Structure 1
Amino acid sequence: MFVGHAFLAFGIVALLARRFGPAERLSLRGVTVQYAVVAGLAAALFASLPDVDVAHAAFQVVTLPEGATAFDHFWTATGERHRTTTHSLVVAVLASAGFAVSVPNRWGGAAVLFGVVALAAFTGGVVGAGVMTLFVVGGVALTALAARIGLSARSIFGASALGLAIHPFTDLLTGVPPSFFAPWDVTVIGGRVEPFTDATYNLLVAFGTEIAVIWFGLLVGLTLLGIELRRHVHPAGVLGVAYAPMALVLNAPSVDNAALFVGTILPVGAIGLVGVKRQLTGARVVTITLTALAAITAAWFGFGVAYTFIS
């Protein structure tokens, strides 16, 4: 997934915080919102943190081998460190404890987080320690921001632990399964989850899952903010179904060969700009976003139906 981690984490944590958290409201950039919304946003940011491990691959591109493209080399290098220690459930718990402890006790939290980095160094050497240091620094920054807004140490632990734990499970449809118990080499799932023998159907499942969790997160957020969905989805969104003929153009796209599919279906979201005036307001931004997502959803559905008929 690309952004599905964040939306899924937001939706789950926001619902839990709404049910079990305090009823107080917090100020977010001058706007007063429910505690649950802030907790959900914190979880969304923490859920995105494990992918900081691609930084290793970005540095590797400068050593581009002769005859290799930057794109290919980037993904090859990514495979060396991506979805390993930063995607571990063990690290999720330990790091979250360190983040939470750092709120009331900065040095106590630092000690726990230093242990996390040392563990990564012991198993992954200098590179492993470097990647984990980026992970920890990012987490500390998020923790400081969350605490400043008003989240308690307990809420920060919950948002961090759930966000970080959700991330690896959302990767199961798109690549090599994460190392759930790194640094220990324990195989939980041996390969990518592929429910169909047809690779294109597996791509549609993965892309559809991404769309579904984005809708989930948005619906939870809109509900908590008191915004009605039906008032912000323009009928033009259904025009996205016109993407269906691309099933005749694209040559059996798959999860491993999805660049053209993703690169052509996402621009369909431009339909969300239909009828929007030059000066935007918060309401228009919501309409653009929801209509764009509706158009992409219609495009995904149209492509799937068309592909079924021609395959």
Structure 2
Amino acid sequence: MFIGHALFAFAVAALVAQWRGWDRRPALLVGVVAGAFAAVPDIDVAYALVGLTDAVSGTVGVPTAFWAASREVHRSVTHSLVVGAVAAPAFGLLAARDPGRVWLARGAGSALLGVLVAVAFVDGGPIAAFVMGLFAATGSLVAVGVARETPLSAPAIAVAALWGLWSHPWGDLVTGAPPDWFFPFGSSILESRVVLHSDPTLHLLGAFAIELATVWLALVAVCRLTDRSIVATVNRRAAVGAAYGVAALAVTPPTLEVSYHFVYSILGVGVLCGAVRGPPTPTVDRLRDRYVRRPSFDETLEVSLTTMMAVTLALAAYATVYVFVVVPT
């Protein structure tokens, strides 16, 4: 889901920029910037590292310890639409380049972020303030880095930041507890997870399908902006992914609470279909070309699209077997 937030923001920003008449390169660039900002709210999971002390002591497993600690702060202060509305212009001010006003703009941006940290401390205590500080520092690094390395204007960076921050919370509605939408103000909107199906396995499959659709949207944006054909790029070895349907008969049905075996295995099938090419016994020249030479954009795109197609076919096959064979039994 962490990657999905960034890819969704990237795809929409890039496609809208192209629709508005931007050239190909700036459209892709503003999409990348929006995607970077969309990933910033999840910096709050850094606090969950404190939970690993329980895993080190042997009390609980590593995944359990990590996610148990993350629930204290995850999807709280950094996921607020109100915080995003204040932080985005602050990040834009930090990206200012005008020599005559740069220090004034950056001072104003820093002040706005300081207010957010102070509000988090008053409303949520030291932990909330710490997480908000991480959020402000990470977003500031992104803003300053983009201003230094790209020709995007400060207003464009602010708009990209606003879209990235505001698009983020919606991706969590089907996988976990909804975010604190209007922190520091209370809200009764969407206080519980959106349930796609009463069957927990079908709910997970639906959530996974939404995530796949997000990745596909990003790949469609890339292909559209680089004049590539998806159909012509996908390799037919992706069809092997359909064999994953038999897994529905062999493994415990996954749910949101226990999904590692499903997620890792289905992604593994996709990666194998996308990355494994050529004869099973590679020659020295083939190994040199694969691991020493940097792959071209077209080769990378082929691997990505083939992997995604394989995972999509695997999901469709798994869902079909589960619905028509496993559920009736």
Question: TM (normalized to structure 2)?
Answer: 0.88
Which piece of structure 1 moves more, 65-74 or 88-97?
A: 65-74
Deviates most, 206-215 or 131-140? 131-140
1:83 aligns with 2:78: no
CA contact (8 A) 2:75 2:179 kept: yes
Quote the residue 2:276 is aligned against. Answer: 274
Matches within 5 A, 1:129-278: 129-148=129-148, 149-269=150-270, 270-275=272-277, 277=286, 278=290
- Deviation, 1:60, is 2.8
Cα distance in 2 between the residues matched to 1:252 and 1:107: 54
Q: Read off the aligned partner of 2:297 and give its amino acid letter.
A: G
SS of residue paired to 1:191: coil
Tell me which residue corresponds to 2:88.
Answer: 96
1:38 aligns with 2:29: yes
Tell me the distance in 2 between the aligned counterparts of 1:181 and 1:250. Answer: 41
Distance (Å, rounded) in 2 between the aligned partners of 1:250 and 1:92 = 42
Segments of 5+ residues of structure 1 without an aligned counterpart are 24-32
TM-superposed CA distance for 1:66, in Å, is 5.8
Structure 2: tracts of 5 or more residues without a match: 97-104, 279-285
Which amino acid is 2:31 matched to? Answer: G
Residue equivalent to 2:101: none
Question: What letter matches 2:276 in structure 1?
Answer: V
Give the match's secondary structure for 1:175: coil
Match of 2:123 in 1: 123
Query: Contact 1:179 / 1:187 at 8 angstroms: preserved in 2?
Result: no
Distance 2:238 2:260 in 1: 23
User: Aligned partners of 1:298 and 1:57: how far apart in 2?
Assistant: 34
Q: What is the CA RMSD across the aligned residues, in angstroms?
A: 1.6
Name the counterpart of 1:30: none
- Count of residues in Structure 1 that have an aligned counterpart in Structure 2: 302
Tell me, in whole angstroms, the C-alpha distance in 1 between the residues paired with 2:276 and 2:110. Answer: 50
User: Hey, what's the Cα distance between the residues in 1 that align with 2:275 and 2:65?
Assistant: 36
- Separation (CA, whole Å) in 2 of partners of 1:9 and 1:21: 18
Percent of pairs identical after alignment? 35
Deviation at 1:21, TM superposition (A): 6.2
One-letter amino acid of the structure 1 residue matched with residue 117 of structure 2: V
> Using the alignment, how far apart are the partners of 1:146 and 1:259 within structure 2?
35
Q: Please give the alpha-carbon distance, in whole angstroms, between the structure 1 residues aligned to 2:72 and 2:250.
A: 34
* Residues 108-158 of structure 1, C-alpha deviations (whole Å, 9 max, x = no match): 111111111111111222211111111111111111122220111121111
Q: State the Cα distance separating 1:12 from its structure 2 match.
A: 0.9
The residue aligned with 2:283 is none
Matches within 5 A, 1:277-288: 277=286, 278=290, 279=293, 280-288=295-303
How many Å apart are 1:63 and its aligned residue?
Answer: 4.5
